[in-house]
Chain A
Amino acid sequence: MNEFSRYMAGLGRRGFLQASAGLGATGLGAGLGGTPALAQGAPWAQVPKGKVDKLNFVVWTYGDIYTKIAAKFKEDWGVSIDSTISSFNDHPPKLLSMYAGGESIDVSQSSPYSFWNFVSQGLVEPLSDMPGAADYVADMTDMMKTVAVHDGKLMGMPYFSTTWVWNYFEPLMEKAKFTPFKTYDELMEQSRKAKKDKISEYPIFWVAGIGLEQLPGTWMQMTWNRGGVFFDKAGNHQLGAGSIARETLKWWVQTFTEGLADPESLKQQFVGSAKAFSAGTNLYRGPNHHYTLQVANDPKQSPNAGKIKVHESPGDGRTIGTAHVYFVTTANRNKEWAWKLLQYLGGRTKDGEYSQAINLAKDAMLGSGYTSVMNSDAISKGWAPYGDVPKILDMWKKTTFVGEVCNSMYKPWHFPWSDRLNIEVQKALTGQITADACCDNLIAAIRQVQRG
């Protein structure tokens, strides 16, 4: 049974009839993309039951997208939106304090790492019975369904999706007369030569800053690309002696030991590393979220715009991806109105357009959780100023959700274990401990964090 079948099974008879009616009314329009016919009768154009004075969302900052979408909601439905916007790192504490304080929270958002925890703690409202929900699920990409649908129930709606890609700085590659590497050995040889020839003091810039996704993601991506995982399907760790994850870490540490990796890597997350790489002093930037090319190749943000190219991972090119979601919280004022607001962030606006997803694709190069948007001009034309779109979409096809590589993210102990992972790996990268000791410590830490 695939996710969609499980979803339909989870709807129940009433929900199934509502969902079927939604599908019928739109003529499967959502699945086909674009503005569906009969938009006025479509679920996203219907006035919700009940009355609310206002609604709110609690999100992390991203340009002024939330100001715009709140204004559009007010214009369309006459309901004001209160926005609580914090930084990405401050978002969970903010959400926690508001939830604990008994405040109303209609809509919020989550990274895939936090979402399982939010669901298990009862923070997330199931949405399967909401009008039009089935349409959305039918249009979601497999990766998005993995995050948004839990036990057959729709729990979240797409914020964005991303795949992990390499970057290289073309002028230095030309100066060194290199073609982009095809194997990890070739990457090491090129880096050593570039350092020796004083083309670059630190040829590789990694995304190795502390975070849930950053440093752990870099290790996971390279482990997956080499055919390994962190945990098997039964949940047993795969970090022991001789494991692919351990050997990958040894190789990664080597790039620091030989002075090939930029020490600044240890502090940078996705956007910061894109800006640092834009300075044009490194040859390669390690695997990272594809959309940061928008930062690196934007003339307003980068002194080397247009010179930073996207590159596929070695071997068969397999890579990892993630999907972030918006959701209705169980502390909502009115579920139907909250669902309406949620659609403005993660679904269709009153006119039937995926307004937010399309704007995010055009303005920020973010991937969508909807197949119809991924197949639209928003991607093919919207991404074009910043990178080679066909090449990125080809990598997209080789993308696996990161949860396949590290399924501890579905467990409540993943967060504390991830803290330990950040600590131990940074200690290995800075030469305080060996890669073997790092993996041994992480294995021991699993038992410890599982105790709670």
Chain B
Amino acid sequence: MSATTTNGRGGHAAPVHRFGRDLPPRLLGFVMNLPTLVVLALVLAYPIYYAGYLSLHKVSLVQLRSGIFPFVGFDNYEKVLTDPLFLLSLGNTMIFTAFVVTVEVVAAVAIAILINQQDVWTSRITRFLILLPYAVPPIANGLIWAFIYNGKTGFLNRLLYSVGAIDRPIDWTANPDTALFAVAVPYIWRTLPFAILLAHAALQGINKELYEAASVDGAGGWHRFIHITLPLLMPVIVVLLVLRTSFAVAVFDEILAITQGGPGDATWVASWYSYKKGFAPPFDIGAGAASAFILALIVAVLALVYVKLLYRRVD
């Protein structure tokens, strides 16, 4: 291990070697990363491993209490993959995720550019206000929007009616054609600030001189965005895609608070399926874990696709 000190003349002195010798760079890298690896192993890897373990065993109340889980091989996976409700839930999840991630990434970049305008004084207030939804607990967010959507007394219908957009109340969450998107809106409202935050931070890292040079060359706003902003934002967009996709496929709170899967199966998503399998009688936790594990694999594949396709373009 070594420590760095200043030499008193504004420069940095050579590293002090506490143990009498340098660690090889590879070993040093490993040691420096070890704490993070241990934490990730505990909070991420072990639960994933354990979910995989449960998915290969018969697990219900009796087994959980006794601690004895009979091995059933891939029976739970077969059970889940042949259940039409799981396949439908998976389909709904993909539609939800595609809609949410697209809207979030586009909106995040657009809003980040707006609030990045230093010469507009209101952007400073907006920057602060825009973070507020992120502080709302997910389940509370769902309940708030359930009130907003109420067919008879909801604020949304009143607003639309008062501006003449509708002539009779629309029951947004009771209509199978609108229910999934009605759940997506509160979800986006809650999670968009995080995406804006990332995009805004990336924007601030772009050298202003690039824009000045482009302007001198006669580039308009659109061309500056296409040829400077977007390419330089691409790494953060990839990060956003990976993060937002992995979170969106696990949407649960808004479903629980607003629709509970209804009307019919219109908002049954994969995490709701896993919850119902594992946490409602007869508490088939093995099958619930299998469905969750399948979902995790899908997220992993999507993340790989993003990285392969988009990072290559960045390079």
Q: With a CB–CB cut-off of 8 A, which chain B residues contact A412?
A: 281-282
Residue of A423, A424, A430, A432 near B261 (CB, 8 A) is A423
Pick the contact of B151: A93, A210, A264, A423 (CB < 8 A): A264
Interface core residue of B175, B276, B279 (most chain A CB under 10 Å): B279
> Chain B 247-269, CB within 8 Å of chain A: the 1/0 string?
00000000000011111110010
Establish whether residues A448 and B83, one from each chain, have CB atoms under 8 Å apart when the complex forms. Answer: yes
B281 lies within 8 A of A118 (CB) = yes
A34 within 8 Å of B (CB atoms): no
A96 contacts which of B261, B268, B279 (Cβ < 8 Å)? B279
Whether B61 contacts A267 by the Cβ 8 Å rule is: no
A263 at the binding interface (Cβ < 8 Å): yes
Is B268 touching A100 in the complex (CB atoms < 8 A)?
Answer: no
Q: Is the CB of A430 within 8 A of B281?
A: no
When A117-B282, A266-B174 are in contact, do A430 and B60 touch as well, CB less than 8 Å?
A: no
User: Are B263 and A415 in contact, CB atoms less than 8 angstroms apart?
Assistant: no
> Is A419 part of the binding interface, using a Cβ–Cβ cutoff of 8 Å?
yes
Counting contact residues on chain A (CB < 8 A from B), the size range is 35 or more
A86 CB to closest chain B CB (Å) equals: 12
A427 at the interface (CB under 8 A from B): yes
For A413, what are the chain B residues with a Cβ–Cβ distance below 8 Å? 282
Beta-carbon contact of B171 and A263 below 8 Å: yes
CA distance A442 to B76 in the complex (A): 22
Q: Which B residues touch A389, using CB under 8 A?
A: none
Question: Nearest chain A CB to B68's CB is how many angstroms away?
Answer: 13
Q: How many whole Å from A263's CB to the nearest CB in chain B? A: 4
**Neighbour of B175 across the interface among A89, A99, A427, A430, CB < 8 A:** A430
How far is the CB of A328 from the nearest CB of chain B, in Å? 15
Known A-B contacts A102-B65, A121-B282, A122-B62; the reply to A279 vs B261 at CB < 8 A is no
Task: Kindly state whether residue A281 has any CB partner on chain B within 8 Å.
Answer: yes
A281 x B261 contact (CB < 8 A): no
- In Å, the complex CA distance between A47 and B280 comes to 37
User: A276 within 8 Å of B by Cβ?
Assistant: yes
Per-position binary interface string of chain B over residues 175-218, scored 1 when its CB falls under 8 Å from any chain A CB and 0 otherwise: 11000000000000000000000000000000000000000000
Residue of A nearest to B67 (CB): A102
Nearest opposing residue in chain A for B150, CB measure: A264
Q: How many whole Å from A62's CB to the nearest CB in chain B?
A: 19
Q: How many A-B residue pairs have CB under 8 A?
A: 99
In whole angstroms, what is the CA distance A424 to B262 when docked?
10
- Does A426 belong to the interface (CB within 8 Å)? yes
Q: Please, how many angstroms separate the alpha-carbon atoms of A220 and B276 in the complex? A: 23
Residue B152 at the chain A interface, CB threshold 8 Å? yes
Q: Does B284 contact A (CB under 8 A)?
A: yes
Asked whether, in the complex, the Cβ of B65 is within 8 Å of the Cβ of A426, the reply is no
Given A93-B279, A121-B60, A430-B176: A452 touches B264 (CB 8 Å cut-off): no
Contacts of A331 in B (CB 8 A): 65
Contact B262 A426 (CB under 8 A): yes
Q: Measured between alpha carbons, how far is A296 from B276 in the docked complex, in Å? A: 32
Count how many chain B residues have C-beta atoms less than 8 Å from C-beta atoms of the other chain. 33
Give chain B's interface secondary structure class: loop
Q: In the complex, what distance in Å separates the CA atom of A78 from the CA atom of B79?
A: 51
What's the Cα separation between A267 and B172 when bound, in Å? 11
A276, closest chain B residue (CB): B152
Known contacts A92-B279, A276-B152: does B65 contact A99 (CB below 8 Å)? yes
Tell whether, in the assembled complex, residue B276 and residue A419 are in contact, meaning their CB atoms are under 8 Å apart: yes
Of B62, B150, B281, the contact of A114 (CB 8 Å cutoff) = B281
Listed residue (A123, A427, A430) with the most chain B CB atoms within 10 angstroms of its CB: A430
- Chain B residues lying within 8 Å of A427, measured Cβ to Cβ, are 176, 263-265
- In the complex, what residues of B have CB within 8 A of residue A123's CB? 61
CA–CA, A134 to B254, complex, Å?
Answer: 47
Encode contact with B along A185-220: 1 for CB under 8 Å, 0 otherwise.
Answer: 000000000000000000000000110000000000
User: B59-97: which residues lie under 8 A (CB-CB) from chain A?
Assistant: 60-62, 64-65, 79, 83, 85
A250, CB-defined interface residue at 8 Å: no
CB <8 Å contact, A96 and B283 = yes
**Max chain A C-beta neighbours (<10 A), residue from B62, B259, B264, B279:** B264
* Interface contact B280-A415, CB-CB below 8 Å: yes
The residue that B281 contacts in the complex, of A102, A415, A448, with Cβ under 8 A, is A415
Q: Judge if B173 is at the interface, Cβ distance under 8 Å.
A: yes
A422 within 8 A of B: yes
Q: Is the CB of A430 within 8 A of B174?
A: yes
Q: How far is the CB of A265 from chain B (nearest CB, A)?
A: 8
Known: A122-B62, A264-B151, A432-B176. A423 touches B281 (CB 8 A): no
Closest to A96 in B: B283
Q: A419 CA to B175 CA in the complex, in Å?
A: 19
> Inside 8 A of B265's CB, which chain A residues have their CB?
423, 427
Q: Would you give 18 A-B contacts (Cβ < 8 Å), ordered by A?
A: A93-B275, A93-B280, A99-B64, A99-B65, A121-B283, A122-B62, A209-B262, A210-B260, A266-B263, A412-B281, A416-B276, A419-B85, A422-B261, A423-B268, A427-B263, A430-B174, A430-B176, A452-B284
A interface with B by C-beta (< 8 Å): 89, 92-93, 96, 99-100, 102, 114, 117-118, 121-123, 209-210, 263-264, 266-267, 276, 279, 281, 331, 412-413, 415-416, 419-420, 422-424, 426-427, 429-430, 432, 448, 451-452
Given contacts A102-B65, A276-B152, A415-B280, 19 further A-B pairs with CB under 8 A are A92-B283, A93-B275, A96-B283, A99-B64, A121-B282, A122-B65, A264-B150, A264-B151, A264-B171, A412-B281, A412-B282, A423-B85, A423-B261, A423-B268, A424-B264, A427-B176, A429-B263, A430-B175, A430-B264
What residues make up the interface of B, taking CB atoms closer than 8 Å to A? Answer: 60-62, 64-65, 79, 83, 85, 150-153, 171, 173-176, 259-265, 268, 275-276, 279-284
